Amino acid sequence: MDEKIRIELTEEQKAQIREATGQEASAIELTAEELEDRVSPRKRSF
C-alpha cells in the first residue's frame, strides 16, 4: 500500500473548499504519485 502524504490546509484554503463543496476539510491526503501528478502534470499518450 502506498503511504499517504498529509498536507494541512490554511484557513484560506479551508474557506475555499467550504465555498466550493459545502464541506469542511482540514487537510488533504495524497500518495506521492498523486501529489506529483498535481504539482507537475505530464501529458500521457494512450
pLDDT 10s digits, 3-33: 999 999 999 999 999 999 999 999 999 999 9
Bridge partners, 7 (sequence order): 28
Domain definitions of the chain by residue range: 4-39
CA pair distance 36, 30, nearest whole angstrom: 9
pLDDT of 46 higher than 90: no
Q: Determine the pLDDT at residue 38.
A: 87
Residues ≥6 apart with Cβ < 8 Å to 33: 2
Are 6 and 27 in contact by the 8 Å Cβ rule? The answer is: yes
Q: Determine the pLDDT at residue 10.
A: 98
pLDDT of 43 higher than 90: no
CA pair distance 36, 26, nearest whole angstrom: 21
